[in-house]
Amino acid sequence: MKCKKSFSKRILLIGGMCFQFLFVLKAQQVIECSGNYISPYGNSYTTSQIITESKKNSTSITVPLTDNIDWLTTGNFTISGGTLTTNANVTPALHASVALFKGVSNATGMEFKLDSRFSNVRPAFGIDEKNFVFLNAAGDVWEIINGVLGSAKLLSSSAITFNATDVWRIERYGHSFNLFQNNVLVKTFNPAVVSNWGTNPIYMGFAFRSNASTDTYSASNLKISKRNYKKYVHFSLDDFILTLKDLTDKVGVYSSIFDNPLLKSLKTQHDTYGMVTSCYLFNKTAGFALASMTAAYKAEFIANASWLKFGFHADTTSTNYDPGYSTVDAQAQYEYCYQNVKRFAGTECFDRIPRIHFFKASIDVVKAWQSSLLAPAPLGFLTADDARTSNYYLSGQQLTATYNGDVFQDDVNNLSFFRTDMRLENDANPASTILSRSTNPLYSGQQETFIIFTHEPLLSANLSKLQALNAWFALQGYDFDYPQNRIFESLYTIDLKMNKIDKSVVQVGNILTANESNASYQWLDCDNSFSPLAGQTSQSFTPTLSGNYAVEITKNGCKEISVTTQITLAGVDQELNNELKLYPNPFRDFINIEKNNDDTEYSIKIINLQAVVIFQKTFIGRKITLDIRFLASGSYVIKVGGRYIKFIKT
C-alpha cells in the first residue's frame, strides 16, 4: 500500500509580479467500508471520488507599494510604483531605517522574494518605526529601541544567503520566529527582546541600509499573513483503555457513559468551563483489548464527539516506534485502533493529532500511517513536554522551532507538530506556572496554545489541578479546542474508494445466503463466540443444527459481519436429509428430483436468492424430471415439501 502523489502547479500573483512553484498534493488512498466517509474537515462523502480539500486558519494579503500611507517608516523612503527608494539619510551606520506595513495588525507571517539589493534588506517586525527587531544576512538579530541600535545583538547564528531566486518566509510566534527557504525550515530564533512592547500591535516589514546616497529596492513580492484564531487550550489523557473495560463490564448496569466516574469528571469540566478532551488509546492491555469494547454506547459517544475524542497512542505499554520497527505492524496497529473507535464511538470521535507513546515514531512508521487504506492519515502529532532530543523524526532545528512557537508545520511531510506544555502530575502548582508563562516575554511565542495532559490512572489525583487551570483559562478568554482544528493551512487529496459491503442475509427455509456477491465468506456460529464454522466458506450455508448464525464477508479491503439469523430446524425437515435426491447439480437444461418414501403429493417451488418464487408445480410419484431451461444462470433454491436444497444453473 503506497501513498500516491499527484502534482500540480500553483501560480501566485504577488504585488503585481507573477511567479510559480511546484507543490505536491499527497493523495492518500482510502477505502471506506461503511458507505459514509467523514473527511478531516467534517464533510461527508458517500461515493468513490477524488476529494481535494483545503483549510486555512490564517489570512494573507498582497502588500501594495503604492504610497506612504500604509506604512510605518522612518521617513527616509519614497514608496510608489511598486518600489521603495531610499534617500541620503539611509546610511550603513544608521541601521534604523525601517518600513513596517500597518495594514495587518499583529501580523504573524511574511513571505517575500527579493528582486535586488538583497544583501542590505533585513526582514523586521516591531510595534512602530522606532521599536523593532531585524535579522541581517550575517544571521544576527538586533533590536532598535526608541530609534537607536541596541548595545549588543540579541543573538547570533550562521550567515544567511538571501538571494533573488528563492521564496523566503518568516513565521512569528511572539518574539520568536522561524525562517523558511522554499518552504523548508532553515533557522529558528528566540530572541529575548530587551524593551517591553506590552500589548501593542506588532507589524512586519523590512529594515534597510544603503551603500549609496540613494538606492532603489523592489519589495513587490511581499505577502503579510495573520493567524485568525483565538488562543486555545487542549487537554488529553494518555495510556487510555481501562475506562473502556469498565464500560464494557458494566453494560446493563450503566445507563450512560457518564455513569463511569472518570468520564463523569470530564463531563463536569466540559459543562462548567468548556474543556475538550482527547483520550489516547492503547490497543490492548492485560485482560482487555479494544476489540472487546462494547458498541452499546456508540450513539452517546457520537452525541458528545464535539468535546470527547479518541486517538491512537500505541499497541501496548511497551511498544516503541523507533527506527527499525516494522512498518507493516505499525500500520496494522494504527488501523486496528481506528476501526475499533469507528465501531464503538463513530468516525466523529477519532482525533487525528495524537500523542504517540514515548513521543517516538520514525519517519518510515509515520509514512506507513499516512499511506493506510483503512484509517485516515494523521494530520500531526503532540510532542514532548520536556527538552528530550528524541521526538518523533524531528531534527534539532525542527524541535527548537516547535519549542519556541508551540507549533511547527512540516511542509515537506504535510504534518503539524504541537508542543505539549505541561504534564499535570509533574507540576505542584500548574495554574501558577501557566500564569507566569503567559506574562513573561521569554515565553512570548508560547502564549497562544497550551497543551495539557496527564495519564488515565492519574486523573483522579490531579483533578483539582485541572479544575484550577480550566477556571483560569476560561477567565482569560481562552478557547477550548482540538489542535486538529487549528492547523494554519493544509491542502490534501484523498482517493476515496467506497466499498460498502451489503451485510444482509437472505433466508430461504434453512438455507442462508449472503447478498454480497464475488466476495470471500466465513460462516460463524454466534452461539459459540462467533467462532468460524470449519469448511463453511461459500456464499450460501445450510445449517444442520438449530442455532444462530452470521457470515463474515471480505471484499476489496473491507470486512463486515452480517446480522445474526436464527435457524430452527423441525424434526421432520432433518429426517428428509437422506430421503431426497436432486441431480445433476449443477445442471444446464433438465433436473431430476427423486424421493425415497411414498407417493404422497408434493409441492415444488424454485426460489431465487432474493426469496422470490419463480416456478411452482405439484407432482405425485417418486421421480420427476423438470425442464427449466428458462432459468438464467445462477444459484437457486428448490423446495420439495418442507425440504430446501440449493442448486446451480450453468
- Find the CATH number of the domain harbouring 614: 2.60.40.3080
Same domain for 447 and 338, yes or no, is yes
Does 279 share its domain with 426? yes
Helix (H, G, I), strand (E, B) or coil at 605: strand
Q: Contact 6/491 with Cβ under 8 angstroms?
A: no
Total tally of structural domains belonging to the chain? 4
- Name residues whose C-beta falls within 8 Å of residue 304's C-beta, 6 or more positions apart in sequence: 257, 267
Q: Is residue 414 located within the same domain as residue 318?
A: yes
The upper half-sphere exposure of residue 16, i.e. CA atoms within 13 Å in the direction of its Cβ, equals: 10
Domain end: 453, 485, 517, which one?
A: 485
**Final residue before a domain boundary, out of 227, 260, 287:** 227
How many angstroms from the chain centroid is the CA of residue 615? Answer: 54
258 and 274 fall within a common domain: yes
Are 223 and 236 in a shared domain? no
What CATH number did the domain enclosing 373 receive?
3.20.20.370
β-pair partners for 631 = none
- 185 and 90 part of one domain: yes
22 in a structural domain? no
- 452 and 334 housed in the same domain: yes
Nearest to 141 by CA among 110, 92, 150: 150
| 139 occurs within a structural domain | yes
Q: What is the DSSP string of 502-540?
A: ---EEEETTEEEES--SSEEEEEEGGGTTEEPTT--SSE
Domain of 549?
Answer: 501-567
Residue 54 lies in a domain: no
| Residue whose cell numbers read 475524542 | 309
Task: Return all residues near 571 (Cβ < 8 A) that are at least 6 apart.
Answer: none
The confidence score (pLDDT) of residue 14 equals 25
pLDDT score of 364: 97
Stretches in the chain below the pLDDT threshold 70: 1-28, 40-42, 54-56, 64-69, 76-77, 81-96, 115-119, 194-196, 210-221, 441-442, 444-445, 488-492, 569-579, 597-599, 609-610, 642
Could you tell me if residue 246 is inside a domain? Answer: yes
Contact 481, 15 (CB under 8 A): no
Nine cell digits for residue 38: 467523514
Are both 242 and 317 inside the same structural domain?
yes
Residue 146 located in a structural domain? yes
Please tell me the predicted confidence (pLDDT) of residue 625. 86
CATH number at residue 556: 2.60.40.10
Contact criterion met (CB below 8 Å) for 45 and 37: yes
Shared-domain flag, residues 562 and 580: no
pLDDT tens digit string along 463-472? 999 999 999 9
| Per-residue pLDDT, 11 | 23
Q: Which helix (H) or strand (E) holds 432?
A: helix 430-439
User: 141 near 189, Cβ under 8 Å?
Assistant: yes
H or E element, residue 552: strand 547-555
Residue 57 included in any domain: no
- One-character DSSP codes across 229-292: S--EEEEEEEEE-HHHHHHHHTBTTBSSGGGSHHHHHHHHHHHHH---EEEEEESEETTEEGGG
Same-domain status, 103 and 176 = yes
- One domain, residues 260 and 121: no
- 366 with 448, same domain: the answer is yes
Residue 59 lies in a domain: no
The domain boundary, picked from 485, 514, 548, lies at 485
Residue 47 lies in a domain: no
| CA–CA distance, 215 with 118 (Å, rounded to integer) | 12
CA distance 446 to 407: 9
State the CATH number of the domain containing residue 135: 2.60.120.200
Q: What is the pLDDT of residues 567-598, one digit of tens each?
A: 876 543 333 445 677 788 778 888 888 877 66
